[in-house]
Structure 1
């Protein structure tokens, strides 16, 4: 049975929003295999200055990421979409092993195949030190906030 990950391109505003929320939900599980299953087997990534190719490298990358970025909690917002592409902005908060808290801001460009699997991901990310009391994101997005935008500052 072929792999399939609806919604499929070409995207409408509604289906692009669903795709973005599904990605946020999956990443907030911090389950590398679950996240990697949304990408093509030969998906290519640029994540900051790291280049990743294929699902197994995605799993290895995410495993290492979530070993460093503890209590990771993410929000994504739709920025734009066209046919088989979606652009998002995001922020996530996490702390390192030393207890220092960070807010990471960024943008992602996504390209999908006809089955709705992501074949390309480009991510640019900046980190800002925050205090634990300055956190705004505490775990996955509550269901009553789905589709809500997040303040970027």
Structure 2
């Protein structure tokens, strides 16, 4: 056998091969980092899930508030007109209001000056009315919400 290969396979006690690997300190540090990640990720996921549930509940609350306000305004109105994409009405103080969609929001405009955002992050609003009822459809986040309103004229 060649002496060169013999010394690689069977090194003498004076000859050391360069060993590659991790020291004990490096292993302890990497295990600490891995255990912290394993402990933190489930907590983070739980927090994200709770935040998502709270956001969905807030969106539902926001929609219910919008429905309540709109139906209250229409009941108190002297006269109103519900068109396919907007609602106009006149209240008891002779103020003219217009509810329409602008830039992904349902807005309420008083006397054509400024506006109040009634509900945010919607894709569209459509109204279908007959002699006795109106159906107001709101599309937001691939969900369709419908408000049924009974006309009181």
Higher strand proportion (structure 1 or 2): 1
TM category (shorter chain) comes to under 0.3
**Which structure is richer in relative contact order (CA contacts within 8 A, separation 6 or more)?**
1
Higher helix proportion (structure 1 or 2): 2
Q: Which is higher, the Rg of structure 1 or of structure 2?
A: 2
> TM-score when scaled to structure 1?
0.27
